[in-house]
Amino acid sequence: MFTGALSDKIGRKWLIVWGMWLQAGGIAVTALTADFMTFGLGAVLLGLGTAMVYPTLLAAIGDVAHPSWRASAVGVYRFWRDLGYAVGALLAGITADLFGLVPAMWLVAALTLLSGLISAVRMTETFTRGTG
């Protein structure tokens, strides 16, 4: 809730981008350690990044989707998001089987970082004063 409201003040794009990068950092920290406290730090970073990304993505959809088809737009977003979970799980599982768990975690971190980079380059800001 906090980050959804924050995106109404500072915009959507960079909250999404930095959230993706924070998620990638959390995954990387987790891949680097077997220490409980450091593992916990990775989990906190991953959680904070996720909290930045998810409500903000839904707000961005609300910014660009006309009210008459907003529910359908959210449904399409959730379809692609969930498909990404399934494909990502398969890819991570295959990578873990072939190369081990840590390389699979690095792959997920790299893909998450890449997603943030693509968003930084390709995404346009969807929030403008007066729409929120």
Q: Answer whether residue 131 is part of any domain.
A: no
How far is it, in rounded angstroms, from Cα 98 to Cα 74? Answer: 36
Over 70: is that where the pLDDT of 15 sits?
yes
Over 90: is that where the pLDDT of 129 sits?
no
The number of distinct structural domains making up the chain is: 1
pLDDT value of residue 35:
94
pLDDT confidence bin for 23, thresholds 50/70/90: very high
Q: Answer whether residue 132 is part of any domain.
A: no
Residue range 3-17: mean pLDDT, rounded? 90
Q: Answer whether residue 105 is part of any domain.
A: yes
Q: Answer whether residue 42 is part of any domain.
A: yes
Q: Answer whether residue 21 is part of any domain.
A: yes
pLDDT value of residue 132:
47
Give pLDDT tens digits for 55-82.
999 999 989 999 999 999 999 999 999 9
Give me the domain span that covers residue 94.
Answer: 2-122
CA 67 to chain centre: 25
| Number of Cβ within a 10 Å radius of residue 24 | 23
Q: Answer whether residue 127 is part of any domain.
A: no
Q: Answer whether residue 46 is part of any domain.
A: yes
Instruction: Write down the residue that tokens 């999404």 correspond to.
Output: 16
Could you give phi then psi for residue 76, rounded to 5 degrees? -65, -45
Q: Answer whether residue 129 is part of any domain.
A: no
CB 31 within 8 Å of CB 109: yes
Over 80: is that where the pLDDT of 1 sits?
no
pLDDT confidence bin for 127, thresholds 50/70/90: confident
| Number of Cβ within a 10 Å radius of residue 35 | 9
What percentage of the chain reaches a pLDDT higher than 90? 86
